[in-house]
Amino acid sequence: MAELAIADSFMPQYAKLEPKVRRGVDAAIAKFAEHTHAGLHLEKLNNAKDPRIRTIRIDQFWRGVVLAPDKGDVYCLLKVMPHDDAIAWAKSRKFSVNQAIGVLEVRDQVALEELSPALEKAAERSPSRLLEHVFDKDLIRLGIDEELIPLVRLLTEDAHLLALEKLLPEAQYIALLALAQGMNPQQAWEEVAKTLVVDEKPAEVDPDDLVTAMRRTPGSVVFVNGPEELRDILAHPFDTWRIFLHPVQRRVALRPSYSGPAQVTGGAGTGKTVTALHRAKFLASKGGRVLLTTFTRNLAEALEEQLALLVDDPDVRERIHVKNVDSLAYEIVGRHHRPAVAGDDVLDPLWEEAAEGTPFSPSFLSREWEQIVLAQGLESEQDYLACTRTGRGVPLGKAQRSVVWRAIQQVTDALAAEGKSTFTQLANEAADLVAGPEYDHVIIDEAQDIHTAQWRLLRRLVAEGPDDLFIVADPHQRIYDRHVSLANLGINVRGRSTKLKLNYRTTQEILTWSVPLLGLTPAQGLDDSADTLEGYRSPIHGRRPVVKGYPDQDAELDGLVEQVRAWLEADVEPSAIAVAARYVWVARKAAMRLKDEGIPAYQVPSKSPGVQVGSMHKMKGLEFRCIAVIGVDDKSMPAANAITPESEDAKAHAQDVQKERCLLFVASTRARDHLYVSYAGSPSPFLPG
Could you tell me which residues are annotated as the binding site for ATP?
266-273
Residue 572 beta carbon to ligand ATP: minimum distance, rounded to whole angstroms: 16
Smallest gap from Cβ 508 to ligand ATP, in A, equals 14
**Which residue lies nearer to ligand ATP by CB, 459 or 620?**
620
Task: Give 274 or 613: the residue with its C-beta nearer to ligand ATP.
Answer: 274
274 CA to centre of own chain: 8
> What is the distance, to the nearest Å, from the Cα of residue 284 to the centroid of all Cα atoms in its chain?
23
Task: Show Cβ contacts of residue 616 under 8 Å, excluding neighbours closer than 6 positions.
Answer: 479, 580, 581, 582, 629, 663, 664, 666, 667
- Nearest distance from residue 663's CB to ligand ATP, in Å? 13
Q: Count Cβ atoms below 10 Å from residue 140 Cβ, excluding itself.
A: 14
Quote the least distance from Cβ 533 to ligand ATP, whole Å.
12
Smallest gap from Cβ 233 to ligand ATP, in A, equals 12
Task: For the sheet with 53-57, list strands across it.
Answer: 42-44, 53-57, 62-67, 74-82, 3-7, 221-224
- In whole angstroms, the minimum distance from the beta carbon of 275 to ligand ATP comes to 7
Q: Which is nearer to ligand ATP, 456 or 625 (CB)?
A: 625
Q: Shortest gap between Cβ of 282 and ligand ATP (angstroms)? A: 15
Cis peptide before 638 (omega within 30 of 0): yes
The least distance separating ligand ATP from the CB of residue 440, rounded to whole angstroms, comes to 23
Q: What gap in Å lies between CA 649 and CA 652, rounded to an integer?
A: 5
- Cβ 592 to ligand ATP, closest distance in Å? 28
> How far apart are alpha carbons 674 and 661 in whole angstroms?
20
Q: 62 vs 665, which CB is nearer to ligand ATP? A: 665
Minimum CB separation of residue 617 from ligand ATP in Å reads 13
Q: Give whichever of 258 and 504 is closer to ligand ATP, judged by the CB atom.
A: 504
Consecutive H or E run containing 547: strand 546-550
Interface contacts to ligand ATP, rule CB under 6 A: 240-241, 244-246, 249, 266, 268-274, 474, 477, 504-505, 621, 623, 669
Question: Nearest distance from residue 504's CB to ligand ATP, in Å?
Answer: 3
What is the maximal distance between C-alpha atoms in the chain?
Answer: 89
Closer residue to ligand ATP (CB): 595 or 617 = 617
Q: Strands, DSSP E only, in 207-354?
A: 221-224, 262-266, 290-294, 320-324, 340-341
Pairing mode, strands 320-324 and 104-108:
unpaired
Per-residue three-class SS string for 434-463: CCCCCECEEEECCHHHCCHHHHHHHHHCEC
Count Cβ atoms below 10 Å from residue 16 Cβ, excluding itself: 12
Closest Cα partner for 586 from 626, 627, 553? 553
Q: Which is nearer to ligand ATP, 212 or 273 (CB)?
A: 273
CB-based burial label for 20 (10 Å; 0-12, 13-18, 19+):
exposed
CA dist., res. 493 & res. 622, Å (int): 27
Q: Are 462 and 439 in contact (CB under 8 A)?
A: yes
Phi, psi of 442 (to 5 degrees): -120, 125
- Which of residues 266 and 339 has its CB atom nearest to ligand ATP in the complex? 266
Q: What are phi and psi of 614, to 5 degrees?
A: -175, 180
DSSP secondary structure of 172-207 = HHHHHHHHHTT--HHHHHHHHHTT-SSSSPPS---T
Of 130 and 274, the one with the shorter C-beta distance to ligand ATP is 274
Nearer to ligand ATP among residue 8 and residue 381 (C-beta): 8
Instruction: List, as residue ranges, the binding site.
Output: 266-273
Shortest CB 603 distance to ligand ATP, Å = 20
Least Å from the CB of residue 198 to ligand ATP = 17
* Rounded distance between C-alpha atoms, residue 491 and residue 468, angstroms: 10
Burial class (CB within 10 angstroms; exposed 0-12, middle 13-18, buried 19+) of 639:
middle
Residue 311: CB minimum distance to ligand ATP, A: 15
DSSP per residue over 580-639, as a string?
Answer: EESSHHHHHHHHHHHHHTT--EEESS--SSSEEEEEHHHHTT--EEEEEEE--BTTTTTT
Q: What is the spatial distance between Cα 596 and Cα 599, in angstroms, rounded to a whole number?
A: 7
Nearer to ligand ATP, 92 or 263 (CB): 263
CB of 247: closest distance to ligand ATP in angstroms?
A: 10
Query: What span, in angstroms and rounded, lies between the C-alpha atoms of 331 and 336?
Result: 9
Q: Name the helix (H) or strand (E) containing 666.
A: helix 650-668
Kindly tell me which of 240 and 296 has the beta carbon lying closer to ligand ATP: 240
Question: Which residues are CB-contacts of 463 (< 8 A; sequence separation ≥ 6)?
Answer: 436, 437
Between strands 577-581 and 624-630, the pairing is: parallel
Q: What is the C-alpha separation between 461 and 291, in angstroms, rounded?
A: 9
Cα 625 to the chain's mean position, in Å?
15
How far apart are the C-alpha atoms of 251 and 649, rounded to whole Å? 44
CB closer to ligand ATP out of 210 and 268: 268
